[in-house]
Structure 1
Amino acid sequence: MYHPARILSFDLDETLWPCREVIARAESALHGWLDRHYPRITAEFDVAAMRAVRVRMADDRPDLAADLTALRAAALHWHVERAGYPPEVTEAAMEVFLAERNRVTPFEEVPEVLERLGAHYPLVAVTNGNADISRTPLAGIFDLALSAADVGAQKPDPAMFRAVCRELGVPASNLLHVGDDPVRDVQAARDFGAQAVWVNRDGAPWPEELVEAHHELTSLHGLPALLLGKPA
């Protein structure tokens, strides 16, 4: 460690819980709900086709790039309007999606490790996505939660880390960030002047063109030993 960590920030998706299957399940649940209640939408668009509409909208609406909830709501509104349903359907549909999107299952070591570290450090949840930590099984563990929508930019833009340091009154050198993505987490944190831990659960090779993380772990199990000198 170049400086003692005073604040710990954590990426969410694929760092604290698996995400890909969560999104797939949430999109399937939303489509099923629409099929039961607003079938004119699903008669024309399956899950993949709805996803394609959202991708096209992301290209057309760069103003929504940092807010995945707003982007998804805008795409749903397009479907609702096209099918001739009232606009309030969009809000109800979004709640169906978000309820499933936040029904995550943390990796087995995560709750205990976070509870242990939380006794010694302020913990901050940071995400490019639209998970709401207060609606997940990890509610109540974090002292602060920030999303790209909150700060107006996605990692690797430094806006999120800058907001963390401003909110908690620490310099970048006293922030340690933990995440799974070499660019959006590790490189972004290092470029900001923070310390970075790469959680490499799948044993992936480190991209040769990037400066390595300060530490690499296969799970959060190693964090207490790294930070507190105590095994998990």
Structure 2
Amino acid sequence: MSVPPLRLITLDLDDTLWPCKPVIEGAERALHDWLHAVAPRLAEAHDIAALRRHRQRLAERLPHRAHDLGEIRVRSLRLLLARHGYRVGLAEVGLRLFLDHRNRVTPYPDVIPALHLLGRRYRLISLTNGNAEVQATPLNGLFAHSLNAVDVGAAKPAPALFERALALAGCRPEEALHLGDDPVRDVAAARACGLRTAWIDRDARPWPEDLAPPGWRAIDLAEVVGRLVP
């Protein structure tokens, strides 16, 4: 049976198209510095790690909302602001500041040239569990659509993001390829939905022994272009 032509490429964002950790760390530092200025009692009582633990505990108590990272952050800040005697309305201001820094991503050097070349031949849709806003990043304009977990009400590895992308592109699963760095949330989840898969492994990590291997493995998007673009 012949393999149908590829029409759609879906791509994860964090750690696939840009390094995530330095961006999150910078955004959390900026937020904590701001809290020192506007809510010093809170900032002195909760360092960055303590704020993170508070959010994690809240997400565990609200599993139906845990996919909405922005809402969890705001709810956490509201609770802590109220506890320390500050206006809860400051939480929304803090979220906007965090997101401004969250969007200050630096794509890997191969990413923008590769997306331009891939976008000439295939429909490109980004899929993320995170809350980066693609239109506010250097990748603005390079995707037909950009979806996050809030848009579909569930985070990967749930199928909702993949299903929405297929519907938007009018594609069957076998006409789509997903590129991502996470073996479970990207590769296994996309494969379960019937998509072709490629593992973007920039760090030469071992593949989990309990998972079936990806369709193929690439060190970066330049390798993907070399395989897909004549």
Whichever residue aligns with residue 148 of structure 2, its letter is S
Q: Which moved more, 1:95-104 or 1:85-94?
A: 85-94
How many angstroms does 1:88 deviate by? 1.9
* TM-score (normalizing by structure 1): 0.96
| 1-structure distance, mates of 2:44, 2:67 | 30
SS in 2 for 1:50: helix
Q: Which residue does the alignment assign to 2:149?
A: 148
Q: Does the CA-based 8 Å contact 2:28-2:98 persist in structure 1? A: yes
| 2-structure distance, mates of 1:207, 1:85 | 46
Q: Which residue does the alignment assign to 2:21?
A: 20
2:217 pairs with 1:223:
no
SS in 2 for 1:208: coil
Q: Which residue does the alignment assign to 1:171?
A: 172
Q: Which residue does the alignment assign to 1:10?
A: 11
| 2-structure distance, mates of 1:191, 1:66 | 20
Q: Which residue does the alignment assign to 2:89?
A: 88
SS in 2 for 1:80: helix
Q: Which residue does the alignment assign to 2:205?
A: 204
SS in 2 for 1:137: coil
SS in 1 for 2:125: strand
SS in 2 for 1:204: coil
Q: Which residue does the alignment assign to 1:127?
A: 128
| 2-structure distance, mates of 1:130, 1:3 | 33
SS in 2 for 1:105: coil
| 1-structure distance, mates of 2:5, 2:227 | 11
Give every structure 1 segment of 4 or more consecutive aligned residues whose post-TM-superposition deviation is greater than 6 Å: none
Whichever residue aligns with residue 153 of structure 2, its letter is G
Q: Does the CA-based 8 Å contact 2:79-2:88 persist in structure 1? A: no
Residues 21-54 of structure 1: CA deviation (Å, up to 9, x unaligned): 1111111110001101221211211111111111
| 2-structure distance, mates of 1:64, 1:73 | 12
| 2-structure distance, mates of 1:4, 1:82 | 57
How many angstroms does 1:178 deviate by? 0.3
How many angstroms does 1:2 deviate by? 3.6
2:72 pairs with 1:71:
yes
SS in 2 for 1:64: coil
| 1-structure distance, mates of 2:229, 2:113 | 14
